[in-house]
Amino acid sequence: MARKQEHGGGHGAGWFVTFADLMGLLVSFFVMLIAFSNQDQRKLQIVAGSMRDAFGVQTNVRYSGVIEVPGLPTRPKLKNAAHIDPEDASAAPTPDDRGRNRAYGAKLKNDRAFALAAASLRQAMQEMPELTEASNNIMLEETKEGLNIELVDQDGRSMFPAGSKEPHERTRRIIEKFAGLLREMPYRISITGHTSASRTPALPDYGPWDLSADRANAVRRILEEEGIPSTRIYAVSGKADTDPLFPDDPFIAANRRVTIALMREASPVPPNLKP
């Protein structure tokens, strides 16, 4: 008859290993609780803004500034929304369908590159103290046409003196910082000046159209002085109060702004491409 082997020595304390693992997990759990109870909300908002722009995981923004802190009114909207007709869908793609798919793939690739560039621009601006301090006067908004950098007025803190086409010195420094970032990007630039609606009549020889166009042109000159070639400037225009940022309140100070837009454009066709 085979003798029954007795288990002794270290094998009798196997429960202690399980108990030690349990204690280790509990300690890790409480460390995580303590870590989450002391969150830096400002840093979390910065990361959330960068992740949203890079991956499109959230379509409705909570706040409108460069850093997502309470400030400007929000303008929730869908981004990159396109209408597709039902007849365009097919279970058996034709050669034309494959061509459209290739074109869609190229567009998707361009959109991703543009989104990453926008996220990089946002991150670079967040690392500049001068721009962080002025975050309530700066808005980044991605649209179907491109990325808008809005230099907006706030009550008590304007970007241009009242009625003047030349910016404040602090505004000039902000534009110069932007120029350093925009020089590294290949996109063409459109600059548009805007005014808010006014309850007082405009001057007969110098009205909102003149003022908005002159402010846009002043921003163009600063960008070119900082090294952005004139060939990258696509358009400079003034729209007076015809395109308010907040249509529900055309008199709000934030409607007075200058928009520096990076244009979303299709990649140029290679010269050696054959149909």
197 with 253: CB under 8 angstroms? no
Q: What values do phi and psi take at 190, rounded to 5?
A: -120, 135
Query: Which has more pLDDT, 128 or 106?
Result: 128
Q: In this predicted structure, what is the pLDDT of residue 43?
A: 63
The mean pLDDT value for 6-17 works out to 62
By CB atoms closer than 10 A (0-12, 13-18, 19+), residue 220 is buried
Contact 190, 243 (CB under 8 A): no
Per-residue pLDDT reduced to its tens digit, 137-190: 888 888 888 888 899 998 778 899 988 999 999 899 889 988 988 888 888 999
The arithmetic mean of pLDDT across residues 109-134, rounded, is 74
- What is the SS3 assignment for 180-208? HHHCCCCCCEEEEEECCCCCCCCECCECH
Read off the amino acid at residue 53. D
Q: Alpha carbon of 13 to those of 4, 8, 25: distances in Å?
A: 20, 9, 20
Closest to 147 measured CA to CA, from 166, 129, 122: 122
**Burial classification of residue 19, based on how many CB atoms lie within 10 Å of its CB (0-12 exposed, 13-18 middle, 19 or more buried):** exposed
- pTM comes to 0.60
Q: Sorting pLDDT into bands at 50, 70 and 90, what band is 104?
A: very low
For 82-107, b/e burial (b = at least 16 CB within 10 A) is: eeeeeeeeeeeeeeeeeeeeeeeeee
Over range 186-210, report the average pLDDT: 89
Residue 215 burial (CB count, 10 A): 27
pLDDT tens digits, residue range 45-84? 666 666 665 555 444 444 444 444 444 554 544 444 455 5
State the DSSP string of 10-71.
Answer: GGGGHHHHHHHHHHHHHHHHHHHHHHHHT--HHHHHHHHHHHHHHH---SS-S--BSS-SS-
CATH topology of domain 97-263: 60s Ribosomal Protein L30; Chain: A; (3.30.1330)
Q: Note the pLDDT of residue 192.
A: 96
Cβ atoms of 65 and 135 within 8 Å: the answer is yes
Strand 138-142 relative to strand 146-152: parallel, antiparallel, unpaired? antiparallel
Helix 95-126 and helix 41-55: axis angle, to 10°?
160
Q: Where are the domains of the chain?
A: 97-263
